[in-house]
Structure 1
Amino acid sequence: MGTKRMAFAEWLSRALRWFAARPLVVDTLLAVSLAAGSWMGALYESPSGALPPDGLSFALILAVNLPLVCRRKAPITVLVVSCSCAIVYHLFGYHYGVNNIGPPLALYSVAARRPPAVSAASAVLVLAEWTHAGMMQPLVAPWAAAGTAILITVSVLSLGTAVRSLTERNRRLADLAVRLELEQESRARRAATEERVKIARELHDVVAHHVALISMQAGLGRYVFTTDPATAHATLETISDASREAMTEMRRMLSILRTDQDGGDDGGRDFTPGLNRLEQLVRRLDSSGVPVRFRFAGTRRPLNPGLELCAYRVVQESLTNVLKHAPGARTEVVVTYGDSALGIRVTNEPGDSTVASRPGGQGLIGMTERVKLYGGTIVAGPRPSGGFEVEVALPFAPTEQPALGHG
């Protein structure tokens, strides 16, 4: 028995969905059913004193009910035709209990699809039709007929208005859902673009520095290959170390990308370079023929990994620019732990090249973007005495600021 009920419920659900997707079929069946029911009622239940059904009454019955097929597309026209024909039907003296369903259905369609002012004006027709039909009944007082007509009209208006409000709310919600989806897609595209820019900046910082170092060392090694084997061997070691470190950082970046995509553990971020690797960076540059002095100032303290990465990239890019534009220049790097900000100052004397790092280069642009991302400031440009200077201030996050009373 339960299986049969489930099967019937499933069949009924599918049937309702089928009819909901075909409103014209529903309206056609409704109009034909009302016309047939009205004709059968007039034919077999004609009250005493009413005119017997004939061809004219049949035509009027069709005119009252069949227009309901178009009630969704032209509700006001259908209401006027249905109410007018129903009033004419009753004025001729035909069955007063017939043709009273079509007009309220037409009014419901108006109320569900037109503004309240239009619906209220259209309700006068239904009110007049129902009042007239009620007053034709021999045992119904005029006030009772009018009261019934008012009750029916107000009920139909209320139901149609409620449906219209629900439809408009659903339409607004659908529009809002579409806008939200478009906004989410736009945010996703912006996030993807920002991520691509971030990755491109990382790739530039990693590749540019190491390639510049490898290129310089390869040129030096080729120059002294036959005259100074020891120096040539040292340059090969530097090239090997630089290429190995470049591969390590590239693998780190790829592991981060895979982690973000798979949603797994972000352990790959443990290899993010920070200030503790600056000394190694400086030693490599110093061993490659770029004399670099490096020192920390102030009291060192743990920093946000992102801030440390930003500081490391600033120093790395500044030294890369020295390699590119002032090879062999004496360079000084000072990292200062202040009370509220981390200071970075990279200065170099004029080198063998004719110009220092140019402010319009892509490396300096990326460096500026990094610094601004952390709310910092950057000043870069030629020094009055020659050479180039980069000075950066990166404010500490609230959790990274020293406690009061400590240096």
Structure 2
Amino acid sequence: MTETFRKTIQDGLAVLRHELISGAAGVRPLPPLSTDGPGWAVFPVEVRRALVWLVHGVVVLFAVSMFWLSYAVYAGRHSYDGPDWSTGLTLLLGLTAAVPLLLVLIQPIAAWWLSLAGVAAVGVAGLDVDPWPFAEPTFPSHLTVMVVVALRSRPVVAAAVWAGTVAVGVLLATVASPRSWKSDNVTAFAVWSAVALGGALLLRAWLEARNRLAASDDATLAERSKRTVLEERTTIARELHDVVAHHMSVIAIQAEAAPYRVENIPPELAASFGTIRENAVAALAELRRVLGVIRVADFEGYDAPEAPQPTLDALDALLDNVREAGLPVDKVVTGARRDLPPGVELSAFRVIQEALSNALRHSPGSATRVELAYVLGGLGLRVVNGPAVADEASGTASVPAGSGSGHGITGMRERVAVLDGEMTAGPTPDGGYEVVVFLPAPALVESPAATEEDA
């Protein structure tokens, strides 16, 4: 326990030595005010750009006011008849009050030392000010400097600054008073400064806690977004596994049957077909082993998919279900309908499904339209909905809108990115929402074997 206490004292003294002595001249400009919070949204952007310097402007204005207050005090309790500035005493009082306030914006510790030296200089010079030794201009000026130091330094530094200031005040009031009677306001300054520094330390602790909470929220949001992406990629991998496994199975079957479709096939060609089949079977087994563990926890028990993956042929059934849920949906198809690669069909169906789900949650009852455009280079999708329809009786939405987290949009972007497609999503001018997607899809080429079978 004694060793721990001694170590704490040593660490505190090391901090004070660094902050108040060796690092006293360190330049630490006061950062601009942050105007990113929701409360600042009421101001225009141009005004917010100017408000970032609000604190700096207030401090400068306060420094100017303290300089002229010193003029009024030394002129005889605000008489403004004008003292003799050539004596330098009024100028000394004004600079003692104003300069540290300007310096604290750049070098807070140096500003405190300068303000403390000014207080001592005014006391030693015997300037006839009242109260004494902390006169009207130097009292608020030095207190403001101490508060800024407390906000920008460690608590032990704030305590040392308070103790040093009170010690200098006591010394001046004891041995350097220019009057035969005492006008000692050191006690008042000690009390007010203790209260102000305590409030500053509490404010700093609250700001630091809020910043840590905001950083934690940002990290949580980033982790949640990352997890959503991984979950969506896992889903895509499971679905692509089914598609690829089907094609690999077809390759293996075709390679096995090819030697029997032609008479007197050369042994070399038969061996090549055999190699193709063996590689297809091996690739299929490896695919099932690697992606099967994604699909289920016990990949040893992995079996065929429970149901085939949907394609655009199932789009009408999906739209019927959405209509039954209370969302009027129209479908518009442009271009010649043609078969697309299974991955494109699956991703297009899932994107439309997720976009309609979002419309149901966020804009219940809104008029919705699904547009499909078959173009030469691929497939274009557009799902657009209007604002939520209000109930005429109550004036509210017929179904409460959901407050989703945006993960559906993330999932759609992942699906589109897998196929090297493009996607945009955002609100429409009428208060609705639209999702626009283009999926590149080259035209499918029928194999000669399939053409021969059809013939």
| TM-score normalized with structure 1 length | 0.49
Larger radius of gyration: 1
* Structure with the higher fraction of residues in helix conformation: 1
| TM-score normalized with structure 2 length | 0.44
